């Protein structure tokens, strides 16, 4: 069993290929053999997994068991494929999984870029400020000392202000960079709830996390419904996929309404789970018997909304950090240039 896992894009490509071959009437063992004979560039993870899967299917095991034995697929995919096989709707489930992991890849990359760009900007600003403090400002100070023998009180005041600007900005940027690194470490090492508690204090960050959580829920629920689950089962099984506490709390309240006899669409509308227009879409889809189609459309809209909000966040952070760097460097240079301007005026 492999210890490495396929990334989202690899899982999406595999599920789509298997779904297309299943639609064409190709048996599971033959489909895996065809994939195994093709050319894949995934660092060897998929090839190793396909070998294990081929051995398993040759022994008569189903796709879910073979995928589990390979050890390269996430638990959610394994569970959904198993449900799809048992319900006879494997093809639909595989197509849903393909789209789900493709969308997850898009959002994950967007979120990663939203964190990476500020981190790079912070490192650049810290480097520029360090150069100012170590090389540029001392060079100006030496020039003034050589020209006048010693800095006058007013000139010294200007240079002191320049050092102050740079040191203050450097400390602020270093604290921000440290906070970002600590936050990332906590996020990736089981303390995600603490980071989320801090991010929720920012309206835009909270909105991004909520949109992402709702996207995961609607996508998972659409997949469960495609696999033949009843609505209440689909909702209960989809809640663990959210991974955002405020959305999970709303969904648990919806479950209480459903236990009282309400449908998921009505419960979601009563609890303001979605925006009003989305809630009405879900109600209309339920009444017309097109719940799965509406959920897929809601998933697309939530994904677009999440990506748009991430772009907004980057659009705010980019000019803010650039402005801090330009203002700090500009004021520092102006401060050390003022004595030189005074000298030139006195010479003239």
pLDDT means over runs of 10, the chain (348 residues): 75 90 86 75 72 87 89 86 82 85 82 79 84 80 64 60 79 85 79 78 83 85 79 84 85 88 86 84 84 83 84 79 76 68 55
Range of the domain at 207: 99-348
93 within domain boundaries: no
Express each pLDDT in 125-173 by its tens digit: 888 888 888 887 787 777 666 665 555 555 556 667 777 777 888 888 8
89 within domain boundaries: no
113 and 210 share a domain? yes
84 within domain boundaries: no
268 and 311 share a domain? yes
- The total domain count for the chain is 2
Cα atoms in the Cβ-side hemisphere of radius 13 Å centred on 198: 11
The three-state DSSP-derived secondary structure of 88-135 is CCHHHHHHHHHHHHHHHHHHHHHHHHHHHHHHHHHHHHHHHHHHHHHH
91 within domain boundaries: no
Task: Report the mean per-residue pLDDT for the chain.
Answer: 80
333 within domain boundaries: yes
The token duo for 29 is: 């063992």
87 within domain boundaries: no
270 within domain boundaries: yes
24, 115, 131, 215, 331 from 124: Cα distances, Å: 53, 15, 11, 34, 18
pTM above threshold 0.95: no
78 within domain boundaries: no
The pLDDT of residue 169: 81
């Amino acid at each position: 069993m492999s210890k490495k896992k396929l990334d989202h894009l690899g899982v999406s490509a595999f599920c789509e290929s298997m779904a297309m071959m299943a639609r064409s009437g190709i048996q599971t063992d033959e489909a895996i053999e065809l994939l195994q004979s093709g050319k894949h560039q995934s660092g060897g993870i998929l090839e190793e997994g396909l070998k294990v899967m081929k051995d398993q299917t040759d022994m008569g095991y189903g796709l879910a068991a073979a995928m589990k034995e390979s050890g390269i697929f996430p638990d959610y995919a394994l569970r959904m494929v198993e449900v799809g096989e048992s319900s006879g709707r494997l093809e639909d489930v595989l197509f849903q999984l393909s789209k789900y992991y493709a969308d997850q890849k898009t959002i994950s990359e967007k979120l990663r870029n939203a964190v990476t760009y500020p981190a790079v900007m912070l490192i650049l600003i810290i480097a520029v400020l360090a150069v100012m403090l170590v090389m540029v400002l001392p060079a100006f100070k030496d020039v003034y000392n050589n020209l006048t023998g010693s800095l006058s009180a007013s000139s010294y005041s200007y240079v002191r202000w320049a050092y102050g600007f740079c040191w203050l900005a450097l400390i602020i940027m270093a604290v921000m960079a440290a906070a970002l690194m600590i936050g990332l470490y906590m996020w990736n090492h089981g303390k995600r709830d603490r980071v989320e508690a801090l991010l929720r204090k920012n309206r835009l960050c909270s909105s991004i996390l909520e949109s992402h959580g709702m996207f995961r829920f609607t996508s998972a629920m659409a997949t469960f419904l495609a696999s033949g689950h009843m609505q209440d089962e689909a909702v209960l099984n989809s809640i663990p996929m959210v991974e955002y506490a405020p959305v999970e709390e709303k969904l648990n309240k919806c479950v209480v309404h459903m236990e009282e006899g309400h449908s998921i669409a009505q419960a979601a509308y009563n609890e303001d789970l979605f925006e009003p227009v989305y809630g009405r879409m879900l109600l209309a889809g339920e009444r017309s018997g097109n719940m799965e189609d509406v959920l897929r459309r809601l998933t697309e809209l939530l994904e677009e909304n999440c990506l748009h909000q991430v772009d907004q966040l980057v659009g705010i952070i980019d000019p803010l950090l650039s402005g801090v760097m330009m203002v700090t460097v500009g004021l520092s240079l102006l401060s050390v240039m003022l004595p030189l301007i005074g000298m030139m005026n006195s010479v003239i």
